[in-house]
Amino acid sequence: MPRRRIRVTGAPEAPLRAALAALRAGLGVPGDFPPEVLAEAERAAKAPTPPPYDATDIPFFTLDPPASTDLDQATHLSRRGNGHRVRYAIADVAAFVAPGGALDAEAHRRVNTLYFPDEKVPLHPVVLSEGAASLLPDRTRPAVLWTIDLDGEGRTLAVDVRRALVRSRAKLDYAGVQRAIDSGTAEEPVALLREVGTARERLEVERGGISLNVPEQEITEHDHTYELGYRAPLPADGWNAQLSLLTGMAAAELMLAHGTGILRTLPAAPDGAVARLRRTATALHIDWPHHVSYAALIRTLDPHEPRHAAFLQECTTLLRGARYTPFRDGVLPAITTHSAVAAPYAHCTAPLRRLVDRHASEICLAAVAGQEPPDWVRAVLDALPRRMAEGAQLAGTVERECVDIVEAALLKDRVGDVFDGCVVDVEEHRPTVGTVQLESPAVVGRIEGERLPLGERLRVRLTRADPRTSKILFAPA
């Protein structure tokens, strides 16, 4: 999900807010929830379907960006012999959303939560997504509780999933958890995040999986002004991501064994894409011996080094082509794996923000119970991939366009100024067009010029910055 979350202050007619409002209108982004949806959400918030199992004695914690209130996951880690027990609670949206009701229909229309700088367009009404269904601290909530036992090397020994009441004890953020773990002050359930996370990272290496550590462009607000920066993920980000991957892999295995499910699949990259990546490595002066695999090379790169960061950004092109693959009645699809995960994988850990996850959880619950998935899940299974693809396309457009608008607004009075930057991409068939990443401010924009030295530092001049069209353009200085 997008990480660029800020608030835009000022009057609605302010140029930046006006540009964002125009973007929403132009993209056909859903507006307010219909009255019947809000009414159903209010009723559901007061009387969710109660789960049969009480796990409120387990001291869960959540780990999210500080401002997040739509909390999908809560975690508890403990030792189990020479291994570990991972308890991973996922918000039970199905406890609130009745199949075939107004809430369900609206969720199928929206598909994903969309994040804009000035507001969030949620998948579900706020009374649920940031209230009754969110795993907020010191609140008892219905959840889909995963219990995954790991051996000393982090390999899965046993998996259980059931509906349960849970109660988070603390809302933590990545920077605070990293400090506590590094200083040795973290309590054991949090401190074990490093042990479990690094064990799972070693297994990822072993199976040939890939986690791209690409610095992210972030927009932040300080004293009613906006700043752009680059954020390299902390180790704690990666450890926490491994728990989500672990759960998604366990879900996929349950589905495959049960014979019905919906996987997140990604075929192996075609030879042409890998060949292009090798040419990019050569242009960036990155040594990639033919006997070294793509996955092994990735782990040698430093995202703080501009040449490496440019190459890592190019590597994301190999992740295109991921899709949702449904199957039923024991007839398995031709492709069951996600090539970046290097294993079967399913999305099931973010149901407050992503439509498919609610359905995946129901299939897993049925698999453990030895039952068929509910009829309402089977009825929409084949239509979900198309809806999710449409939602992902819209979410990607929103994220790109929002950053472009904010960049253009920040730079609109600096046309003609010269900046230090690095060319991070050159179009294969148009070598005079590419992408430049500035050192400061942290802007990534289009550049046009006769000589674009990929991966090299150069001085660039801003030639256009128009918030109305959300476009910026640079040229070599």
- In order of their start, the domains of the chain are 15-266+333-407 (no CATH), 271-316 (no CATH), 414-476 (2.40.50.140)
- pLDDT for position 63: 97
- Long-range contacts of residues 28-37, Cβ cutoff 8 Å, at least 24 apart: 29/114, 29/121, 29/394, 29/398, 30/109, 30/110, 30/121, 33/106, 33/125, 34/102, 34/106, 36/102, 37/102, 37/103, 37/106, 37/125
Q: CA 341 to CA 266: how far, in whole Å? A: 9
CB 476 within 8 A of CB 459: yes
- pLDDT for position 467: 77
46 Cβ contact partners less than 8 Å away, ≥ 6 residues apart: 132
CB neighbour class for 269 (10 Å; exposed up to 12, middle 13-18, buried from 19): buried
Sign of CA dihedral 366, 76, 343, 271: positive
- DSSP E strands in 223-298: the ranges are 225-231, 261-265
Give the predicted TM-score (pTM) of the model. Answer: 0.86
- pLDDT for position 422: 82
- Helices 355-369 and 235-258: angle between axes, nearest 10 degrees: 50
Coil/strand/helix, residue 403: helix
- pLDDT for position 225: 58
The one-letter code for the residue type at 272 is G
- Mean pLDDT per 10-residue segment, the chain (477 residues): 39 66 90 97 96 97 93 98 98 97 97 88 97 98 98 98 98 97 97 98 92 70 60 87 97 98 92 78 84 85 77 78 94 95 97 98 97 96 96 89 82 91 83 85 85 84 86 92
Residue in 339, 358, 334 with CA at minimum distance from that of residue 348: 358
- DSSP E strands in 60-112: the ranges are 60-63, 73-80, 83-91
- pLDDT for position 326: 98
Residue with tokens 């068929």: 372
